[in-house]
Structure 1
Amino acid sequence: MNSAKFKFEKLHIWQDAMELGEVINKLTEDFPKKEMYNLTSQICRAVDSVALNISEGAIIQSKPEFRKFLGYSARSLAEVVTCLHKANYRKYISEDKFEELYNSSFKLMNMLIAFRNKL
């Protein structure tokens, strides 16, 4: 991302959160229509919240305030993982896709926590 002007755009956690958000958003296109206002909406809002809180916390915030926003991101990511479990239980996604997204989420969670602890 060569044209990054905002501090948060350079953060790997933000970049990974953005990518995960797009993958999950695309994935939900195949969820049943009955889930549009339930699981589909919930997982999309939660996954978008991960990147949104990183960016909000990075701009004109103190380190304690940024840590707080990173905590919000981690909580949203935990919500994403729970939604992935729901989608897997309901057979909306394959076991392989679940494992892939679960592992991506786990890696991102560890990165979020490590970054937060270094602030």
Structure 2
Amino acid sequence: MYTDFTQMPVWQKAMEIGVDVYKISDSLPKKEDYALTSQIRNAGESISANIAEGFGRGGNKEKCNFYRYSRGSASETKSHLIYGKLVGYFAEPESNSIITKIEEVIHELNKIIKSLGN
């Protein structure tokens, strides 16, 4: 049993995703500052933030809600990465590496949600 969310492997991987997304979006054109850059960074950062918030909640139902929000943010981040790749902003190896981590986090979140009975 974890005593702090930072001990959770799923949170650790989600935090890696947030950092990776920040780095990959750093080279986006200035015209994307209030569009793709902002959206992908917010979505990428909220994956780990929602896991942390879920960890701090009391009941399983509340926990699951935040783990689901995290899963939604992960899917949103994946979509932004695919878009960025298609329009030529992101190189395929870097974006695919982050997408793989996202899919792993989604899989782990699904297992956690199922284990909590929700």
TM-score norm. by structure 1 comes to 0.91
Q: How far apart in 1 are the matches of 2:6 and 2:37? A: 26
Which stretches in structure 1 are left out of the alignment for 5+ residues? none
Cα deviation, residue 6, structure 1: 5.4
Deviation digits for residues 11-53 of structure 1 (CA, Å, limit 9, x no counterpart): 1111111111001101111111111100010010001111111
Q: How many residues align?
A: 115
Where does residue 90 of structure 1 map in the other structure? Answer: 87
Q: Equivalences for 1:29-108 in 2 at 5 Å?
A: 29-108=26-105
Where does residue 17 of structure 2 map in the other structure? Answer: 20
Cα deviation, residue 98, structure 1: 2.1
Which stretches in structure 2 are left out of the alignment for 5+ residues? none
Q: How far apart in 2 are the matches of 1:26 and 1:36? A: 14
Please give the root-mean-square deviation of Cα atoms over the aligned residues, in Å: 1.3
Aligned sequence identity (%): 30
